[in-house]
A and B are shown apart, each in its own frame.
Chain A
Amino acid sequence: GAVVSQHPSWVICKSGTSVKIECRSLDFQATTMFWYRQFPKQSLMLMATSNEGSKATYEQGVEKDKFLINHASLTLSTLTVTSAHPEDSSFYICSAREESGLAGISYEQYFGPGTRLTVT
């Protein structure tokens, strides 16, 4: 099956610093990747949709200047949390949609293993 990796698995940073998280599709090309945030014992909340070669689409309430997304290639998207604060501490998960079929339409997305961010 399709494999998505994330790096790093966990990171601890000081308040005010920036942190970059990478999401890679290892064995397929993904024109679209998605970034989620998950707080303890809660479900996944979609933050933004990352489109290769164009600007990301952010969900309502997500600050695009704080959560910078870059999707420079068909296998890599990055999320940079700028000027991190303790309330940004969370589990960040990316996913990639594998396009399939002649129509290029797929219902399925594959998730990375997540990145645990702790801001002190």
Chain B
Amino acid sequence: TQLLEQSPQFLSIQEGENLTVYCNSSSVFSSLQWYRQEPGEGPVLLVTVVTGGEVKKLKRLTFQFGDARKDSSLHITAAQPGDTGLYLCANSKLTFGKGITLSVRP
């Protein structure tokens, strides 16, 4: 079973700040997905990355897949309170990381 490590585990920042969070594994991902989950709701798919070195943008969110396809990062520019939530990465075998709890203070 592929282990997915996410870091940091918790992050609390002020509105307007930038942040980067990570998803790492010791083995290669065939594909990797990022989700955001709000309390009491199911996860919502943000992006799927497949190709090493791939960069995808979703408004203020930038997702990068490592060249070796063993890691991925999510960068949020000018964070807003609406970005608050649990950010999860998952592999194609439906294994999830433990998640990153992000809190953006107004």
A113 proximity list for chain B (CB < 8 A): 41-42
The stretch among B55-63, B71-79, B87-95 that forms the contact with chain A is: B87-95
Answer whether residue A67 sits at the interface, using C-beta atoms and an 8 A cutoff: no
Known A107-B31, A111-B44; contact A43-B97, beta-carbon cutoff 8 A: yes
Which residues on B are within 8 Å of A, measured CB to CB? 31, 33, 35, 40-45, 48, 50, 88, 92, 94-99, 101
Closest chain A CB from B11 CB (angstroms) = 14
Contacts of A45 in B (CB 8 A): 96
- How far is it, in angstroms, between the C-alpha of A45 and the C-alpha of B88 when the chains are bound? 12
A-B contact count (CB 8 A): 45
The answer to whether A114 and B94 touch across the interface, beta carbons within 8 angstroms, is: no
| Interface residues in A, total, Cβ within 8 A | 21
Instruction: Return the CB mask of A69-94 against B: 1 if under 8 Å, else 0.
Output: 00000000000000000000001010
Contacting residues, chain B, for A95 (C-beta < 8 A): 42
Instruction: Report A's interface with B, CB cutoff 8 A.
Output: 4, 6, 34, 41-46, 91, 93, 95, 107-114, 116
- A113–B44 alpha-carbon span in the complex (Å): 9
Please determine whether A42 and B98 come into contact, CB atoms closer than 8 angstroms. yes
| A4 to B4 CA separation, bound complex (whole angstroms) | 26
Asked if B48 contacts A93 (CB within 8 A), the reply is no
B97 touches A111 (CB 8 A): no
Contact assessment for B88 and A109 in the assembled complex, using a CB-CB cutoff below 8 Å: no
